[in-house]
Structure 1
Amino acid sequence: MLDSAQLLAELVAVRSVNPLLSTGGPDDERQLGEHVAGLLRSWGVETELQEVKDGRCNVIGHLPRRGAGDDAVVLLTAHMDTYPQGGPSAAYQPVRDGTMLYGRGSADAKGSLASMLAAFHRAARAPDRRESFLAATIDEECLLLGANALAQHHMRPTLAVTGEPTGLVPIVAQKGIIRGSMRVRGPKAHAAYPKPRTAITAATDLVEGVRRINADYAATATAGDLSAPTLTLTRIDSDGGMNLAAEEVTVWFDGRFLPGVSGEEFAAEIVGRLRTAVPADLDFAMNELSFISPPNRCPTGNPILAEFFTAVKDVTGRCEPETFAYGSEAGVLAGFSAASLVFGPGDARFSHGEIEGIDLTEVNAAVQIFERLLIGGVC
C-alpha cells in the first residue's frame, strides 16, 4: 500500500512556485510535473504531458474502465503551483510533527494531490473501476491557465473534483471572479492654476459610485447561500506629478459574482450600473478584463454526486456541503463536466501563510473517499 504521508513529503520537497509569484530564482511547476508523471508511469498509468505555456505542462493520467465499473467518468484535479515559502514551517523541506506535516504547499494543494495520487495508485490495481482521469495542473494561483487548457482535452467527466483545503467538506457552489481596471480622465492642470475638476476628483466620484453599487447589491440580496455580488477596489494609480494634476487615473478592482452570468456579462452590468451612479459628465471606461474565474453551482439530483456525499459521510462521519466566495478551478471544470465541486484535506487558513501544514489523518481519509469514487458502486 502506498504511504500517502511519504508521498506528500516528496511533493512538498519539490519547489513549484508559480513564476508570476516568484521572489527570485527559476520557478515553475516543471520539476514537480516530471515527478508526478514518473510516479504515474511507474504504476502503469497511461500518462501525457499537456503543454500549456513556456514548457509548463499539465500532467494527465488516465485509467480506462475495467471489469464491473459503470459508465461514469471521474476527473480528479489538483494544482501543482504554490506561493513562495513563508517561515520555517512553510518552506520547501517537509517537517513532520505527530499527525501534522508542515511545508509550503502541504495544504494548498499538495495534500489533495497526494491523496488523489494514492487513490489512483489503488484504482490502477483494482479489478473493477470507472474510467478516470487525474490532472495535476499548473497556474491555479494566478491565471487558471492549466484548468483552461484541460477544457481542450477530449475528456468529458460525469463528475470533476478539484482539490483544495476544504477540511473534507464538499463545496458545491462558488462565486465567480473578475479582475481588471477602469480608466478615469480629466483635464491637464498645473497646481499654480488649479481646476475644479480633475481626473483625481473624477475618480472620487467613481469610488462613490462603486460604494452605491455595493449598497444596492446588499439591499437587494436574497437569502441565498452565496449572498450578493460585490465589487472591491484594490488599487489606484495615476500619471500625476509633484505639481501636475493627473490626466488619467486607473482604478483596479476585484468583482465577485453569482452563478448564472458570465464574467463578461457581470463586467457589462457593472458599467451599466456605474453610468447611473456617477455624474453624467464623468469620463470613464472599463479596460479589458485581466482575469476571469467562472462561478460554479453543482447540479442537484446527480446520482454520482449522491454517491460521493455518501462516501464522505461514511469515512468522516458527516457530510454537510457548503459554498464559498474564493477562487478555484471548479468553475472552469464545470464548462466541460456534467458536475463539478471542490473538495480536499486541509485547512484553508494555512494557505499562503507563514505557517502551512496539514493533518495527515485528513489526507488518509481523502484517499479512502477518492478510492471509492474511482471504484464506484462495485467497491
Structure 2
Amino acid sequence: MTATDLDAFATFVPTPERVAQAADQLVRLVDADSTSGAEEPAVAVAAAICDELGLAARRLPVAPGRDNLLVGAADAPVMLCTHLDTVPPFIPARRDATHIHGRGACDAKGVAVAMLHALRLLQDESRLDGRVCCLLVVGEEADHSGAKAAVAAGLRPRVVILGEPCGLAPAVAQKGLLKLALAASGNAGHSAYPELGTSAVHVLLDALYALRHAALPQDDLLGETTVNVGELHGGVAANVIAPEAHATVLIRCAAPVDAVLEAVRDLVPPAIALTELSRAEPREFATGGGATGPAVPFNTDANWLAATGAELMLLGPGDMRCAHAAHEHLAVADLAAGITAYARTAARLL
C-alpha cells in the first residue's frame, strides 16, 4: 500500500464515543478473572466485545476448557496478537477519571481491547477488510500453550504484530529467559548443635547469593542478565537443621541461554540439584522502518510464534513496569493511542 493510499484514511483516530466504549469494555475484561490456566471468563467477555463491534470471532481449542480467540480471517497476511491470561492474584477493575486499574489492565487486556477496535477501524476501510486478523491467546504468562496451539492450528500470517506494553514504540529486541529449579539436601539435627548437621537452607541461600551477585553474560543491546528468586521453600521448624530446601529462579538472559546456563552451573555447587524448567532465546524484532523504542527485558510469545515463519514486531500501549503489581493500570489516553497505533501499523504493512 502506497503513502498516497494511506493518506486517504490512515489517521485512524478513534472518536470520543469509541474511546468511551473501549474503556467500558476494558473494565469488563479486567473484571473477568483469567489467571493462567483458567482464562475462560475473559475469553467469553472478549467474544462478547467482538459481537458488540460486529467482528466475526471463533474459538480455537487449546486444551479442555481453554480456547484462543481468532477474530477475522485465518488467512489474513497481518495478524495482531496478544494474550488474555494474567498472573495471580486477581485484582478487580477500578476506574478513575483518567485510568483503568486492575490485574491485566496493562498486561495485556488493554492491548487486546485496543487491537479489537483497531481491527474494526481497519475493516471499515474496504481496501483492508479481510487482510488483518487478531488472535487473542491463553497461557502466555505460564507455558505459552496458546501460542503453541496457534502454530499447530496452521496459522501462517506474513507479519505478526505482538502486543505488550512498551510505550507504543516498536521494541527492537527482547531478552531471553531461563527458568530453573534448585534443590538442596541437608542432614537434619537439633539447631543447638549446628556442627552435627548440614542445613539445606543455608547451602541454598549461599548458592542463591552467589548467583544474584555474579557477573553473568551481558550484551551491548540487551544489557545485563538479571536473576529473580521467585519461590523459596525449606525446612520443617525453626529449631531443626533444615533437611531440604527448594527454589525457583527466573533468569532474564541478555546472552544466548546456553552461555548463561554454563555460567550458572559453574556457580552452583554439585550438592544442589539443578533442573531446567523452560527457556527462550533472546530475539530481535522488525520495527517497520520508523522510530523505535529500546530493547525490552521481558519475554513474550515471540519465540513460539516465530514457528509460523512470520516477521515479528512488538508494539503496545502502557508501561510494563506497572504490570504484575498491585498498582497495575492503563491510561485511557494510552488505550486510545493504542487503537490508532495498531491500525496505522497494520495498514502500512499491507
Give TM-score, length-normalised by structure 2.
Answer: 0.79
Shift of 1:76: 0.8
Alpha-carbon separation, structure 2, partners of 1:49 and 1:329: 19
CA shift, 1:122, in A, is 2.1
How does 1:61-72 map onto structure 2 within 5 Å? 61-63=71-73
Q: Which amino acid aligns with 1:199?
A: A
1:335 Cα deviation (Å)?
A: 3.6
In structure 1, distance between residues paired with 2:230 and 2:89? 22
Shift of 1:356: 4.3
Aligned partner of 1:123: which letter?
Answer: L
Distance 1:109 1:5 in 2: 19
In the alignment, does 2:185 pair up with 1:170?
Answer: no
Instruction: Report sequence identity in percent.
Output: 24
Query: Shift of the alpha carbon at 1:84?
Result: 4.6
Q: Residue 100 of structure 2 corresponds to which residue in structure 1?
A: 102
Question: Which of 23, 27, 36 in structure 2 is aligned with 1:8?
Answer: 23
Query: Partners of 1:186 and 1:243 in 2: how far apart?
Result: 15
Tell me the CA shift for residue 10 of structure 1. Answer: 1.6
Structure 1 residue 6: Cα displacement: 0.8
Residues 329 and 227 from structure 1, CA distance in 2 versus in 1: closer, same or farther, beyond 3 angstroms?
same
Report Cα offsets for 1:52-72 as digits up to 9, x if no partner.
23412110113377xxxxxx8
Partner of 2:10: none
> Is structure 2 residue 144 aligned with structure 1 residue 150?
no
Provide the rounded CA distance (Å) in 1 between the counterparts of 2:123 and 2:44: 19
Amino acid in the other structure paired with 2:222: L
SS in 2 for 1:251: strand
1:322 aligns with 2:294: yes
Q: Report the counterpart of residue 52 of structure 1 in structure 2.
A: 62
Q: Spell out, residue by residue over 1:307-352, the C-alpha distance to the aligned partner (whole angstroms, 9 max, x if none).
A: 5x3xxxxxxxxx2321111233333333434332321122334434
SS in 2 for 1:189: coil
Gaps of 5+ in 1: 21-26, 66-71, 300-304, 310-318
* 2:83 aligned residue: 79
- For residue 79 of structure 2, what is the amino acid of its counterpart? L
- Tell me how far apart the structure 2 counterparts of residues 232 and 352 of structure 1 sit (CA, whole Å): 14
Name the SS for the 2:79 alignment partner: strand
Q: Which residue of 2 aligns with 1:297?
A: 284
8 Å CA contact 2:252, 2:297 repeated in 1: yes
Deviation at 1:296, TM superposition (A): 2.2
> Are the counterparts in 2 of residues 232 and 255 from structure 1 also a CA contact under 8 Å?
yes
Letter in 2 for 1:269: E
Alignment partner, residue 342 of structure 2: 370
Unaligned residue ranges in structure 2 (runs of 5+)? 1-14
1:25-78 residue CA offsets vs partner (Å, 9 max, x unmatched)? xx943233223334445666553212223412110113377xxxxxx8212112
Q: Distance in 1 between matches of 2:234 and 2:60?
A: 41
**How many aligned positions are there?**
330
The Cα offsets for residues 277-307 of structure 1, whole Å up to 9 and x where unpaired, read as: x4xxx42211341x545532115xxxxx435
Pick the aligned partner of 1:252 from 242, 248, 261: 248
SS at match of 1:341: strand
Which residue of structure 1 lines up, in the alignment, with residue 161 of structure 2?
161
In structure 2, the partner of 1:230 is 226
Which amino acid in 2 is paired with 1:170? Answer: P
Q: Distance in 1 between matches of 2:49 and 2:155?
A: 21
CA contact (8 A) 2:111 2:316 kept: yes
- 2:112 corresponds to which letter in structure 1? L
**Structure 1 residues 177 and 5, CA gap change in structure 2 (3 angstroms):** farther
